[in-house]
Amino acid sequence: MDLQAFEQHIAAGGAVDLHDPMPDEYREQVRRIMGFQCLAEIVGGLMFAEWVPRTPGLLRKMMLTAKVQDEMGHAFYLLRTCEDLGLRRDQIVEDYLCGKSKLLNVFHYRIESWHEWPIAALVQNSAALVQFKSLVRTSFRPYARALKRILKEESFHYHNALDLTRTIAGHGGEHRAAVQAGLEKWWPHVLAYFGPPDSDSEHNRRNLRWRLKVDSNDTLRQRWLDWIVPVLESLDLRLPDPALARGGDGRWTYTEPDWDGVRDVIRNGGPATAYWHDRVRDNYESHGWVRDLVYGEQPAA
C-alpha cells in the first residue's frame, strides 16, 4: 500500500480495521505495540496472582482473583488480534523468555507485603488508565476496541485498590506506615512508567503520525499527576517527592526519574527481573499440557 496515501488517510482522522489495506511497516508496528502490552498484562497478572492465597477474607480473595483473571483476559484480547496480524501467540511469551523482548520498568520489581499491594496497584492502575484512555483514540480499530473493554475492567481494579488502600491506611499506626512505605517505593517507578520525555526521533514521530501513540509521554505523566495527587492527599498519604509542586500554569514540576538508571534496569535487570522471568517460564512450561490438549502441536513459525 502507498505510504503517502495511507498517512494522508490517518492524518485526516481515518482509521484502519483488520482487513483494510495497510503498509507492512504499520502492521508490524501495531503487532509490536499490542504484543508488548500483552506481555505486560501477563506479567502484571502474575504479580498479583501470588497474593490470592494470602488475601484475608473470601470476598477480597474473589475480588483479587477477578483482577488476575481480567489481566489474563486483557492479554487474550491483545494476542487474538496479534494472531490475526500473523503473529504466533506463543511467540509473545517465547520472545520474552529468550530475551528478545523487554518488560516495562515496573515489572523489574516485586510486591513484598500484603500492605504494599493495594497502594502499588492504585498507582499502577491509575497510570495504566491514563495511558489507555489516551491510546483508545488510536488509528487501529481492533486495538481501540480491545482498549475499550480493558478500560472498563481496569476501572474496577482501580476502585478495588483504592478501597483496600483506604481500609488498610485507616487502621493507622504501622499499617499506615507500611502503605506510606509502599507509596515511596512505587512512586518513582510509576513516574518513570510513562517513559522519558519524548525525543524527536523518527520512531517517535512516526508513532504519533500513525496514531499508534496519541499523546506525548510528558502529557500523560502530567495527566496522571493531575489525577493521583489529590487522591493520595485524600488518603492522608505523604507525597514522596519534596520537589513536587503545581505551577501557576497548572503544570507539575517533580524530581525527574533517573533515566539512565531506568534504562539500565530495563536492559540489564532490576531486583525482581530474574524472579519474574522464572515465574513466566514456570507457568508457561507447567501449562504446556493444556495447550497441547486444546490446540495440539503448534505449527512451526
**Residue 66 sits in the site that holds other proteins (CB under 8 A):** yes
β-strand 252-253 against 245-246: which pairing, if any?
antiparallel
**With contact defined as beta carbons under 8 Å apart, do 193 and 104 qualify?**
yes
86 C-beta neighbours (distance < 10 Å), count: 9
**Residue 36 sits in the site that holds other proteins (CB under 8 A):** no
DSSP designation for 100: S
Nearer to other proteins, 282 or 292 (CB): 292
**Residue 294 sits in the site that holds other proteins (CB under 8 A):** yes
Q: Which residues in the 160-219 window bind other proteins by CB under 8 A?
A: none
Q: How far is the CB of 142 from other proteins (least distance, A)?
A: 9
* Contacting residue, 15, 52, 61, 76, with other proteins by CB under 8 A: 76
Q: How far is the CB of 146 from other proteins (least distance, A)?
A: 8
Q: How far is the CB of 3 from other proteins (least distance, A)?
A: 21
Q: What number of chain residues touch other proteins (CB under 8 A)?
A: 18
* Contacting residue, 23, 52, 73, 97, with other proteins by CB under 8 A: 73
- Which residues, other chains included, contact 293 with Cβ-Cβ below 8 Å and sequence gap of 6+? none
* 270-285 per-residue burial string, b: 16 or more CB within 10 A, e: under 16: bebbeebbebbeeebe
Closest CA to 119 of 176, 37, 67: 176
Sites of contact with other proteins (CB under 8 A):
19, 66, 69-70, 73, 76-77, 80, 83-84, 89, 145-146, 149, 294-297
